[in-house]
Amino acid sequence: MLDKTAMQTWAERARAVLPAGGFGNFDPSIFIREGRGSRVWDEDGREYVDYLIGSGPMLLGHGHPEVLEAVAEQLPKGMTFFANNAAGVELAEEIVRAVACAEQARFLSSGGEADMYAMRLARAFTGRDKILKFEGGYHGMSAEAQMSLAPTRLVNFPQAVPDSAGIPEAVRAEMLIAPFNDVAYLESLAAEHGDEIAGIIIEPLQRIIPPEPGYLEAVRAICDRYGIVLIFDEVVTGFRFAYGGAQETYGVTPDLCTLGKIIGGGFPLAAVAGRADVMAHFDKAAVGAERWLMMLGTLSGNPVAAVAGLKTMEILRRPGAFDQLRANGARLQGMFARHLSDAGIPHRIVGHPTLFDIVFTDRDVRTYRDVLAADAGMNARLNAVLRENGVFKSPGKVYPSLALTEEDFALTEEAIAAAARALGESAGN
């Protein structure tokens, strides 16, 4: 009988103490031991070029020496205080300088918390109850966010489909669901429910699907017309597309945005940022007890996360950082397009150079339903062959980083070529 590998042993131990054998985030059979720069190693010692980068936060790569130095300097001073700290204030100041909508910021520990509070802020500010989100849009794990995130049962809009057990029917009744990139439908929905909608929450790039030209401008105009709070979920796009995030890239300013991943430099930290009159609902003295939104978090504004985020953002401000990041992504997109096309495999490269994936379809991808109709099995086979050949990525995204080297690109292209050949052979091409 063959001895178990280290990962098999860890998987067995995990199944005994963790539901479904994992943390709920990623393939539970994979155990990552360490990461350095652009690479990660699993518990069996296998090395990979990392395009998962912790689901996005490790934009500089793992263990960037300047970030480690900032963290090492803070650790002896204290890890958390449940009180204000100077680094957190400096981080808020930098967010306000960088992000178009941000007049004030409030910290939390996760992007999902930030999204939950942003929706609650919209309700507190407007006195309305309904929230509009887009089918396929991801906004964390709150009851509102778990409506029509990944429905396999497609229903008529604006009906919401719960993605999770344990959500009261009353929550579903207060959610409206719209298709992404459909201005006409959104106009009609707002005409019917505009005076009931507190907020519209949207990923400016929905998972990987770009907004069509003029779409975000149209959403902004609808919110202005009906007094709706526009929330950009920039947990992923913030400080990734550009230093000012998707707001800078697309030239559309929301009322609120949520930030995470990069602003914590790899540590748990997120934020809600936006207009001062909306953010005032976090201040009981400013709005009164009836309109005050209570918010507490043991680790909110944690000083270790704050210094890591500050150093990460400082590095991103250096000349050429975003040009390099976008160039890295465009280079990867070109590799996928070239090898898959040569293998005769219908596909679309969908997203932005800093965040994209391959969708196996022969038609343009505008909405969640277009992704759902694509060949998911082909995508799973692509990811499996890439991993077998030393490339580690999410099931649905490629995250380039600034740590990528020429050796990484060479290895990645070999893996993509192998995957394209395997897919071509399975398709009979």
DSSP string, 133-200: EETT----SSTTTTBSSS-SS---TT---BSSTT--HHHHHTEEEE-TT-HHHHHHHHHHHGGGEEEE
Strands (E), 15-171: 32-36, 39-42, 47-50, 104-108, 130-134
Of the candidates 56, 21, 63, which has an alpha carbon nearest to the alpha carbon of residue 39? Answer: 63
Helix (H, G, I), strand (E, B) or coil at 39: strand
Active site residue 138: yes
Contact yes or no for 218/180 (Cβ under 8 A): no
- Residue 130, both tokens: 């309904």
Catalytic site residue from 261, 311, 393, 397: 261
Whole-angstrom Cα distance, residue 150 to residue 138? Answer: 9
In angstroms, the CA 265 to CA 174 distance is 35
Catalytic, out of 117, 138, 215, 399: 138
The answer for residues whose C-beta is within 8 angstroms of residue 256's C-beta and 6 or more apart is: 101, 118, 121, 122, 199, 229, 230, 231, 232, 272, 273, 274, 275, 278, 279
397 in active site: no
Q: Tell how many helices (H) and how many strands (E) occur in the chain.
A: 15, 13
Catalytic residue among 42, 182, 233, 357: 233
DSSP 201: E
233 is catalytic: yes
Task: Tally Cβ neighbours within 10 Å of residue 357.
Answer: 23
Residues recognised as catalytic: 138, 233, 261
